[in-house]
């Protein structure tokens, strides 16, 4: 197991970024930071001061574009010349994923500094890259540290946190799919990892109203749950506890409908409703919870036509043949897919 060895969550903890890096390893002296342009504008001054305070004199900022394989390769070439001891990814999903991928290809340590609570990749070794030959997350580098500044994260658009809740709710069907794979194809099943992932979804279902009422309390709880889910993946050594048929649906939607089809967690949330129905779970509770957060529960809310929802459902199981899920048992054709989506009012 590779696990993050230090996780710091709190308000304005970004001012201690330099110390955080030092405490992880006193031998770190050259630091590379990867972020997007907007995050750089927001955090550069404060990050640089924290480096100075911690006597980390050598650091360089690299501005990243989209999370594509080509961009990851460009960054890897640029960072190789600089030769950092450690790579810090600051941002939402994109820059954290690019930093994770770059650290992996250069064999360097990686620190995750998420600026939004939009998905569980903030603490897991998995990245989602456009232009890879696989339409799902691939394994890269586990962060040695995660620094989550909830004050900074609260400035991100609220929609991102709602998307994070969708990603978390998805662990309910992901874990059910894993149980099914254990029972039907004798796949290795890790009870601890499965329970940890499940717990991160359960807290969202149980705490629903409290999370909506109070921004920082809610945000902190969501961040902790996302980090726990990522750690569950680290323990399992695969994305299994966190990614099942609901994620296959999300990946299929990206393939079928392209860019303008909602955020990762929004697609996952909608997928979870339908997969929960297939599993015979309380899908109405999932709809209720998502709606409470203001997360989409219908295809058209993320610009999907009825046909695109049906096509995505039919395509989902073929995207990752080795990952056994409820879709392998139910084998949805167009008619079955349409009646499933209609029965839970996704279309």
In the complex, the residues that contact Zn ion under the rule CB under 5 A are 167
Nearer of residues 167 and 177 to Zn ion, judged by Cβ: 167
> Is residue 21 within a helix (H) or strand (E), and if so which, with residue range?
helix 17-24
Q: Which residues contact 320 (CB under 8 A, 6 or more apart)?
A: 134, 135, 136, 248, 251
Residue burial 193-213, b: 16+ Cβ < 10 Å; e: rest: bbebbbbbbbbbbebbeebee
**Nearest to Zn ion of 167, 308 (CB atom):** 167
Of 97 and 167, nearer to Zn ion (C-beta) is: 167
Q: How far is the CB of 117 from Zn ion (least distance, A)?
A: 12
Report the residue number, 90 or 118, with the smaller CB distance to Zn ion. 118
6-10 vs 126-127, strand pairing mode: unpaired
Report how far residue 69's alpha carbon sits from residue 74's, in angstroms, rounded to the nearest whole number: 9
Largest CA distance in the chain: 64
Shortest Cβ 247–Zn ion spacing (Å): 6
Q: CB nearer to Zn ion: give 130 or 336.
A: 130
What's the closest the beta carbon of residue 54 comes to Zn ion, in angstroms?
33
Query: Given the complex with Zn ion, which of 164 and 208 has the nearer CB atom?
Result: 164
Q: Cβ of residue 65: shortest distance to Zn ion, in angstroms?
A: 22
Closest residue (Cβ) to Zn ion? 167
SS3 category, 9: strand
> Can you tell me the distance from the alpha carbon of 246 to that of 167, in angstroms, rounded to the nearest whole number?
9
Least Cβ distance, residue 268 to Zn ion (angstroms): 5
Task: Report, in Å, the least distance between residue 272 CB and Zn ion.
Answer: 11
| Closer of 31 and 120 to Zn ion (Cβ) | 120
Residues written for the chain: 347
Q: Nearest-CA neighbor of 100 among 77, 131, 76, 84?
A: 76
Q: ∠316-320-321 over CA atoms, to 5°?
A: 100
Instruction: Tell the smallest beta-carbon distance from residue 243 to Zn ion (Å).
Output: 6
């Amino acid at each position: 197991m590779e696990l993050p060895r230090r996780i710091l969550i709190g308000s304005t903890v970004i001012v201690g970024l330099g110390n955080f890096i030092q405490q992880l390893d006193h031998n770190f002296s050259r630091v590379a930071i990867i972020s997007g342009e907007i995050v750089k504008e927001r955090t550069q001054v404060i990050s640089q001061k924290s480096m100075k305070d911690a006597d980390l004199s050598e650091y360089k900022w690299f501005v990243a574009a989209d999370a594509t394989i080509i961009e990851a390769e460009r960054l890897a070439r640029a960072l190789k010349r600089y030769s950092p001891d450690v790579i810090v990814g600051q941002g939402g999903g994109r820059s954290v994923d690019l930093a994770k991928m770059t650290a992996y290809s250069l064999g360097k340590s990686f620190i995750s500094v998420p600026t939004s609570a939009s998905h569980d990749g903030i603490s897991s070794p998995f990245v989602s890259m456009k232009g890879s030959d696989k339409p799902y997350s691939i394994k890269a580098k586990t962060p040695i540290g995660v620094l989550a500044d909830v004050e900074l994260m609260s400035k991100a658009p609220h929609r991102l946190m709602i998307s994070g809740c969708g990603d978390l709710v998805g662990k309910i069907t992901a874990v059910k799919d894993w149980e099914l794979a254990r029972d039907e194809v004798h796949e290795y099943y890790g009870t601890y990892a499965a329970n940890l992932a499940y717990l991160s979804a359960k807290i969202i279902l149980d705490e629903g109203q409290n999370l909506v009422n109070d921004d920082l309390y809610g945000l902190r709880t969501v961040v902790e749950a996302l980090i726990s889910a990522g750690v569950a993946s680290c323990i399992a050594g695969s994305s299994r506890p966190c990614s099942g048929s609901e994620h296959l649906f999300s990946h299929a939607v990206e393939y079928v409908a392209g860019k303008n089809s909602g955020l990762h967690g929004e697609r996952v949330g909608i997928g979870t409703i339908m997969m929960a129905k297939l599993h015979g779970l309380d899908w109405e509770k999932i709809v209720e919870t998502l709606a409470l957060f203001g997360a989409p529960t219908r295809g058209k809310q993320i610009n999907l036509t009825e046909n695109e929802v049906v096509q995505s459902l039919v395509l989902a199981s073929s995207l990752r043949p080795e990952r056994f899920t409820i879709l392998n048992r139910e084998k949805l054709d167009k008619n079955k897919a349409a009646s499933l989506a209609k029965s839970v009012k996704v279309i």
